[in-house]
Homo-oligomer: A and B are copies of this chain.
Amino acid sequence: MRQSHLFTKTRKEAPQGEVAKNAQLLVRAGFVHKEMAGVYAYLPLGLRVLNKIIGIIREEIEAIGGQELLLTTLQDPEIWKKTGRWSDEVTDVWFKTHLHSGDLYHQGSELGLANTHEEALTNLMREYILSYKDLPTYVYQFQTKFRNELRAKSGIMRSREFIMKDLYSFSANEASFKEFYEKCASAYMSIFARIGLGSHTYRTFASGGSFAKFSDEFQTLCDAGEDTIYFSKEKKIALNKEVYTDEVLKDLGLTKEELTEAKAIEVGNIFSLGTRYSEPLGLLYKDEAGAERPVFMGSYGIGPGRLMGTVVELYGDQKGIVWPKSIAPFQVHLVEISSESEEVSKEAAELYRTLTEAGVEVLWDDRNLRAGEKFADSDLIGIPLRVIVSEKTIAAGVFECIERGSGKVSSMTASELIESLSHV
């Protein structure tokens, strides 16, 4: 894409009152727009990153048998009353609204905006799960959740409106559930690895869901995290502070000395729901003997926006964002210096065409600006590889390439460039 066509521009300043590093950088670089506290719109660059993260998650969840659907935001209170979660005292993050009732606006029946989808999906599955032959089955979606957070100060990592990948498993019994649970844990680690968070992310013992002593969180070590964990790099094990007791340590065969305290961001969680929802909502199946039993459920969440924010927090530096190759909005930032030289523009256009035809995603800075301004923008936007076309590089017969992360400089011809990018 030509940068002169991109409608967003970089900004020198973050919005007033924005304290989170991720939102500061993402707003300044033109990836997101702050609509209000805790509510962010995704601009073209940000949407590209978000969609790449969603694509990686989708691939991994499809690979373990997930079937994608799309539930609704508007929620019927009657279903939530059955599980006891309609009350604002139980679920303090509800946004609620009213259904139109003729002339009397706001006099109709109350509706909820989904903050999660256990109730809706459990109720829906009563249509389709009747017998043990219908089990196990796994259903997921990417859907906007609404949570009326009292404080929303972590940028796009904790927002009032955010996209969530939520997966639910439906099994005949606990053993079948556990088998999938472990498969999903592995899929989650693959997702974090592919997004560039692998080496910083720990599967972490946390306080349990229903029917289980622990749930599992996936925590990425990061000073901006809201959670505190204790981890051992050697043993690749971690505990959330909430379960860090002598008894638990003893059970797990760990000592305080081998664990290090750190701040961490919860980038995913998986937990047993048991029959917490299937019983009150009547999601029952007939077993081999014809007896009716409640379905054993599990729940598995990842927030693509939170992953995006975590990457910015973890890798962003003084100059701006540093995207891993797998989720960068473009693979190459082609910067022409200066745009007043017709020869340089021609050479840049030629390289843009060559790279694009080879399937490389290129943001081409064809704007008529000083080199210093272009480089500062490029650093802020954080595309992994910057390729410079200038009178100097034309004279040398090779392009100057700079890796955004390491700062490593190299000189390459167009075909060497394509060759190097094909190893991504």
Copies per assembly: 2
Query: Given A76-B35, A97-B97, A113-B97, is A42 in contact with B70 using a C-beta cutoff of 8 Å?
Result: yes
Residue of B at shortest CB range from A50? B70
Q: Among B33, B96, B128, which residue has its beta carbon within 8 angstroms of that of A124?
A: B33
Contact, CB under 8 Å: A41 / B120: yes
In this assembly, does A402 line the interface, its C-beta being within 8 Å of a C-beta of chain B?
no
In this assembly, does A144 line the interface, its C-beta being within 8 Å of a C-beta of chain B?
yes
Q: Among B8, B35, B76, B94, which residue has its beta carbon within 8 angstroms of that of A72?
A: B35
A97 proximity list for chain B (CB < 8 A): 95-97, 113
Interface hit among A146-154, A285-293, A345-353: A146-154
Residue of B at shortest CB range from A99? B148
A144 proximity list for chain B (CB < 8 A): 73, 144
Q: Within the complex, what minimum Cβ distance (angstroms) separates A307 from chain B?
A: 16
Residue of B at shortest CB range from A150? B100
* Cβ proximity bits A82-99 to B, threshold 8 Å, 1 near / 0 not: 000000100011111111
In this assembly, does A405 line the interface, its C-beta being within 8 Å of a C-beta of chain B?
no
Report the separation of the CA atoms of residues A231 and B88 in the bound assembly, to the nearest whole angstrom: 54
Residue of B at shortest CB range from A7? B137
A146 proximity list for chain B (CB < 8 A): 73-74
Residue of B at shortest CB range from A70? B42
Please give the number of chain A residues whose Cβ is less than 8 angstroms from any Cβ of chain B in the complex.
Answer: 60
A96 proximity list for chain B (CB < 8 A): 97-98, 106
Q: Within the complex, what minimum Cβ distance (angstroms) separates A284 from chain B?
A: 16
In this assembly, does A127 line the interface, its C-beta being within 8 Å of a C-beta of chain B?
yes
Contact, CB under 8 Å: B67 / A127: no
In this assembly, does A40 line the interface, its C-beta being within 8 Å of a C-beta of chain B?
yes
26 intermolecular pairs with C-beta atoms under 8 Å apart: A7-B128, A7-B129, A7-B134, A9-B127, A9-B128, A11-B127, A35-B71, A35-B74, A35-B76, A41-B71, A41-B120, A41-B124, A42-B69, A44-B67, A44-B69, A46-B69, A50-B70, A73-B144, A74-B161, A92-B105, A95-B111, A96-B97, A96-B106, A99-B148, A99-B160, A144-B144
Residue positions of A touching B, CB distance < 8 A: 5-9, 11, 33, 35-36, 39-44, 46-47, 50, 65, 67-76, 88, 92-100, 102, 105-106, 111, 113, 120, 124-125, 127-129, 134, 137, 139, 144, 146, 148-150, 160-161
